[in-house]
Amino acid sequence: MIEPRVIYRDENFLALKKPAGLLVHAGGGVKSKEKTLADWLKENYPQTGKVGDDPVFRPGIVHRLDKDTSGLMLVALNQDYFSYLKSLFQSRQIKKTYLALVHGSVKEKEGLIEKTIGLKSGSIKRTTRLDSAKNLKPAVTYYRLQKRFSLGGEKFSLLAVAPQTGRTHQIRVHLASIGHPVVGDKLYGGKRDSLGLERQFLHASTLEFPVEPGKVMKIAADLPGDLENTLRKLTPEN
């Protein structure tokens, strides 16, 4: 198991850098056969075992990242702060920014994707196609172009992405829906070149939120080595 790294800690919460490949918690009330972030938390911060809506399976965990997405997560260390963080997420007072490398040359400097997302019938995949989805929910994603790249005639774009809602696979589904799937995304990227990546190029890079009323904190996590190495393979464009 590649362990998470604690970036910040106080008496109320942890800010962790989750590595790609680490499952946050088991699903459906069934213990995972692999070691999860939840297991690591209960071993290293046993107080989280009494924190949350379901502390047995999600100790102190207020939100989640996909297994193969790296980056920042917040974990509450007491029940009062869990409720506080939960309220911030529900009222969209926590600003999350991800870095995503996508296929193709994104023309716009910035854009807003407003497409309803639902579960594709008979599949674990999400989709924006209303005719083949169920449990539809509105979803909004803002993106800003950081840099364009090329490699052997292929075009790529690095985006800063800020989801305004929190749907499962939202960023991956929305970017694929506009013809720019995330590099390395096995579920939504089709058979495009992964540039040698074993996972999708998606990293939760910053979180900004009021740690208490009137006091805002911004926490950042650098790109991990596999994603840095991927960028080094590419040629920047003007």
Q: What is the pLDDT of residues 86-112, one digit of tens each?
A: 999 999 999 999 999 999 999 999 999
Best CA proximity match to 63, nearest among 25, 30, 21, 34 = 25
CATH code for the domain defined by 94-206+220-238: 3.30.2350.10
Q: Is 66 a catalytic residue?
A: yes
pLDDT at 42: 96
Domain residue limits, the chain? 1-91, 94-206+220-238
pLDDT at 32: 60
User: pLDDT tens digits, residue range 114-143?
Assistant: 999 988 877 788 888 876 667 789 999 999
Rounded distance between C-alpha atoms, residue 208 and residue 196, angstroms? 32
Match domain 1-91 to its CATH number in 3.30.2350.10, 3.90.1150.10, 3.20.20.80, 3.40.228.10.
3.30.2350.10
- The sign of the CA dihedral 28, 176, 140, 60 is positive
Domains 1-91 and 94-206+220-238 share a fold: yes
Structure tokens at 162: 């800020």
Place of tokens 């970017």: 175
pLDDT score of 127: 86
pTM of the model: 0.93
The catalytic position among 66, 68, 193, 226 is: 66
Spans of the chain below 70 pLDDT? 1, 28-32, 131-133
